[in-house]
Structure 1
Amino acid sequence: MPELPEVTALAAFLREHAGGQQVTSAVITSLNVLTTYDPPFSTLVGRTLDDATRHGKFLDLTFGDLHLVLHLARAGWLRWTDAPSAKPPRMGGPIHLRVVFTNGGFDITEAGTKKSVTAALVHDPQEVLGVARLGPDAMSLDRRSLETALAGQTGRLKNVIVDQKIIAGIGNAYSDEILHAARLSPFATAGKLTSDQLDALYEAVAEILTDAMVRSVGGEAARLKGEKRSGLRVHARTGLPCPVCGDTVAEVSFADRSFQYCPTCQTGGRKLADRRMSRLLR
């Protein structure tokens, strides 16, 4: 899933490769992906890309008074090519939409059968419900605003910091990395962290996200996924040694997702309850 660092990098990539270029073709090939109908998607043709920014994990492309707001969800991606095919993509395929510029263009694709990528063409990004509901951006948080965001939260820390209404931009992978760097249990109660734990969490958010952006921004769009994986210390590393203490990275699995952590670094050596395994052992 593209998170704050990758979306930041994609915005920078598009500013460099398509900024100031005119749209020559704009095609939707998956009707479900477009959440708006007025103005029509074809309105982009003839317009110039003025800017590319982000709101949390939403990518915002500015074309004059219009914004194309994209959410790449869990399995979506932006694929750039310097030489777009003259043949339009087929309806119902892996490509949801295609935007072609004077020099180059991009497809929005999504792997798997569950389709969650969305696109909206609006005059104000706040018209997109997901954007309007975002909490403070993870990169804008100072120590006090982080404490304020978590105050009174009774949920597990892992779930709270990926809730975009509470903190915008952090997803499953970087939350694992942040909690590992802060030496905090994913199951800790978010609103009951001590002052020292809040300090550690604040420092880890800044460290992990800043490092990921430094590694990602300026890179080619096609290489960002690999760059993300190369910097992960616990996420998606179940069964491998923790690079800090050498303990085996453990996993907790749910119906459609999982997270990883180090028992020695984060939970005092305890293994967290894995509901999937608990069901199998009944």
Structure 2
Amino acid sequence: MPELPEVQALVQVLATHTTGRLVRAVHVTSFPSLKTYDPPPAALVGGTVTGVHRHGKWLDVSTEGDDGELHLVVHLARAGWVRWHDIAPTGLPRAGRSGLAARVVLDDGAFDLTEAGTKKSLAIHVVRQAVDVERIASLGVEPLSAAFTRDLLDELLDGKNQQIKGLLRDQGVIAGIGNAYSDEILHAARLSPFTLTRSLDADARDRLFRSIGTVLDAAIRAATGKEAAELKDVKRSHMAVHGRAGQPCPVCGDVVAEVSFADSSLQYCPTCQTGGKRLADRRMSKLLR
């Protein structure tokens, strides 16, 4: 799933290619992905792209036209992506094995919104303001903003006693962090993903606060300047534990372990994060009963 660093990089890619260009056509080929009907996607046609922004994990392409300001707002979900074309493909696009969900044709070039796999969750909204999307209006604090302070982190940790992994992924608490970067942040902070938030002492909270900033900053720096087609490989190559089960931890050399759930998994280093203890893999426990 694209998270804050990748979405920020996609913002930069799209802003470079689209800002100042006229929207010639909008083709939606996956109608379940379209979550709004007024204004319709066709209302974007004739408008000029004025900028591209990010809200948590959401992409926001703003336009200005005869109908005033409009926003094409997209959540890429687990398997969505953006594909840029220097030359707009000819003919009307069709849904199919390519996973094409929508195509926006400009006066020079085009970009596709795609989604791999059979579980379709990509969401496309056309709205007058980004906050018209309820899930954007309810987003928590941006973790790289000035509003995210050490004192605020204390408030968030103490607000509800829950596993720290869950809090980091809660978009209503902190916007933009998902499964991958929560694993990376907790590894950098030397914290178990199952640690309860209110149990963290001041030193652990300091480490967590620093790690949120350093991990996300490093990921953004690694992605900056890369084209959309390169970003997935960049993300994978910079992971310390996420997606690296069975491989050596780059910090201590221990074997990275995994806990599997129904539709996801987390990875961690036993030596760095859990005092050498391996966390119970609930999926395997059920198989062994």
The TM-score by the shorter chain falls in which range? over 0.9
- Equivalence for 2:242: 235
Q: 1:77 aligns with which of 81, 87, 92?
A: 81
Calculate percent identity across the aligned residue pairs: 54
* d(CA) in 2 for partners of 1:206, 1:71: 23
- Equivalence for 1:107: 112
Give 1:40's aligned amino acid. P
Alignment of 1:187-206 (within 5 A): 187-206=194-213
- Equivalence for 1:157: 164
- Equivalence for 1:24: 24
SS at match of 2:52: strand
Asked whether the equivalents of residues 99 and 107 of structure 1 are also in contact (C-alpha less than 8 Å), the reply is yes
Q: For 1:159-186, what per-residue CA distance to the aligned partner results, in whole angstroms no more than 9, with x for missing partners? A: 1110101110101111100000000000
SS at match of 2:217: helix
* d(CA) in 1 for partners of 2:211, 2:171: 18
* d(CA) in 2 for partners of 1:249, 1:29: 41
Asked whether the equivalents of residues 29 and 90 of structure 1 are also in contact (C-alpha less than 8 Å), the reply is yes
Count of equivalent residues: 282
SS at match of 2:74: strand
Q: 1:174 aligns with which of 174, 177, 181?
A: 181
What is the CA-CA distance between 1:92 and the residue it aligns to?
Answer: 5.3
Q: 1:98 aligns with which of 103, 115, 121?
A: 103
Asked whether the equivalents of residues 153 and 189 of structure 1 are also in contact (C-alpha less than 8 Å), the reply is no
What is the CA-CA distance between 1:142 and the residue it aligns to?
Answer: 1.7
The runs of 5 or more residues in structure 1 that have no matched partner are none
Provide the aligned C-alpha RMSD in A: 1.0
* d(CA) in 1 for partners of 2:81, 2:39: 24
* d(CA) in 2 for partners of 1:56, 1:83: 30
SS at match of 1:50: strand
The runs of 5 or more residues in structure 2 that have no matched partner are none
* d(CA) in 1 for partners of 2:180, 2:201: 24
* d(CA) in 2 for partners of 1:191, 1:74: 30
- Equivalence for 2:153: 146
SS at match of 2:159: coil
The TM-score, its normalising length taken from structure 2, stands at 0.96
What is the CA-CA distance between 1:152 and the residue it aligns to?
Answer: 2.7
* d(CA) in 2 for partners of 1:53, 1:191: 34
- Equivalence for 1:86: 90
What is the CA-CA distance between 1:16 and the residue it aligns to?
Answer: 0.8
Q: For 1:78-122, what per-residue CA distance to the aligned partner results, in whole angstroms no more than 9, with x for missing partners? A: 111101211222135510100011111111111111000001000
* d(CA) in 1 for partners of 2:283, 2:17: 45
Give 2:42's aligned amino acid. S
- Equivalence for 2:141: 136
